[in-house]
Amino acid sequence: MKKQLFFVVNPKAGQRRKESFPDFVQARLNHQAFTFDIAFTQGQGHATALAQQAVKDGADMVVAVGGDGTINEVARSLIGTTTSLGIVPSGSGNGLARHLNIPLSFKGAIEAINEGNIVEIDTVKLNDQVFVSIAGVGYDALIAEQFAKDKHRGFFTYFKLVASLFPGYEPQDYTLTIDERPMITTKALFISLANSNQFGYNTIIAPNAQLNDGMIDVCIVQKPTIFELPIIINLLFLNKIHHSRQVKIFQANKLSLGRTTNPVVNLDGEPVQMDLMLQAEVNPLSLKVAIPTKTRVFDPAELVLSRFINAQKKIQHELKKLIR
């Protein structure tokens, strides 16, 4: 029997127009293996409702067409079910898709779905919310909040916000209890709870994070000086942030995180108001996801060099825009 797919398309995610996306699916999907329906979201939370209905209707896979926020909305309806998550990345950073090596082109992403390769990954419950990729508090959450308010998408908007808000941001006080270890009290620029390894744009905050290890990578980042900032940025792109003296990473199955101010949390790229006290726990192998069966394999040295060169080019390009 053919498998039933349901595409949930966020028309506002990222910078790519999606009016013709149904025609693209019609042309590229393997119709011998799949039937499909498509719906466009009309606002925040609509993707979750559409995915819930698709599960009730017996869909074998719900495909999120958007960024990490859209993926989050769809995934929360699929956790613990037999319905798989498909991903056609069309957001700004596309952090989860990059971690899973899902092509960023519509063509490549549909081909990955055609391959029918399904794996199971962890999700994380954070109070009464869920995240699949990454959550964060502090400066991380501030950037997510301001990015959501900006009418413009893309790396330049993200870079501009990071550069303009960094000098005046004061580190905040946090307390953490990681599994059964003694409480940690610290001031930090931000703290990320990483299920996958990156924010997006290949900025890798948790180099050793894996989506199927039953652990959260807790990344505590102190504020660098303005002179140290270029080094931190390069380490993010080079997959070596854990070598910085400003960064400490712990692994946890569950944790408590207390804050004194700012209730906003960056939840898979979206700003969400939550209690100042946060409780996080891994839900192991709770979500089925379609990923490519084959991805390009880089020699480690080649990969590091490639990321460094691309990061330098992108940073120089965006700095020139800011100067203008």
How many domains does the structure of the chain reveal? 2
Residue ranges making up the domain that contains 56: 3-116
d(CA 150, CA 51): 27
243, burial (CB in 10 Å: exposed 0-12, middle 13-18, buried 19+): exposed
Least confident of 31-40, 118-127, 295-304: 295-304
Q: With bands split at pLDDT 50, 70 and 90, how would you rate the model's confidence at 324?
A: low
String of DSSP letters for 237-273: HTT-GGGSTTEEEEEESEEEEEESS--EEEETTEEEE
Residue 14: which of 71, 101, 89 has the closest Cα? 89
d(CA 10, CA 64): 8
> What pLDDT shows up at residue 303?
46
Residue 301 domain-assigned (yes or no): no
Mean pLDDT of 16-39: 92
Q: With bands split at pLDDT 50, 70 and 90, how would you rate the model's confidence at 151?
A: confident
The tokens of 162 are what? Answer: 């990071």
Residue 297 domain-assigned (yes or no): no
The verdict on 159 and 105 lying in the same domain is no
Residue 193 domain-assigned (yes or no): yes
DSSP class of residue 306 equals H
The verdict on 208 and 176 lying in the same domain is yes
Tell whether the model's pLDDT for residue 59 goes beyond 60: yes
Tell whether the model's pLDDT for residue 250 goes beyond 60: yes
List pLDDT tens digits, range 189-248.
999 999 999 998 889 999 999 999 999 999 999 999 988 988 898 899 888 999 999 999
The verdict on 181 and 38 lying in the same domain is no
The verdict on 171 and 98 lying in the same domain is no
Residue 270: which of 162, 163, 132 has the closest Cα? 132
d(CA 52, CA 78): 8
Tell whether the model's pLDDT for residue 321 goes beyond 70: no
Tell whether the model's pLDDT for residue 21 goes beyond 60: yes
Strand ranges across the sheet with 264-267: 247-252, 216-221, 190-194, 134-138, 264-267, 270-273
The verdict on 152 and 269 lying in the same domain is yes
Tell me which of 296 and 277 has the higher pLDDT: 277
Give the three-state DSSP class for 189: coil
d(CA 318, CA 312): 10
> What pLDDT shows up at residue 150?
85
The verdict on 17 and 49 lying in the same domain is yes
The verdict on 99 and 139 lying in the same domain is no
Tell whether the model's pLDDT for residue 308 goes beyond 60: no
The verdict on 133 and 34 lying in the same domain is no
Residue 315 domain-assigned (yes or no): no
The verdict on 211 and 268 lying in the same domain is yes
Of the chain, the percentage scoring pLDDT greater than 70 comes to: 90
Give the three-state DSSP class for 207: coil
Contact 136, 166 (CB under 8 A): no
> What pLDDT shows up at residue 200?
87
Residue 205, domain CATH = 2.60.200.40
DSSP class of residue 168 equals T
Residue 96, domain CATH = 3.40.50.10330
The verdict on 91 and 200 lying in the same domain is no
218, burial (CB in 10 Å: exposed 0-12, middle 13-18, buried 19+): buried
Tell whether the model's pLDDT for residue 295 goes beyond 60: no
Single-letter amino acid code for the residue at 130: V
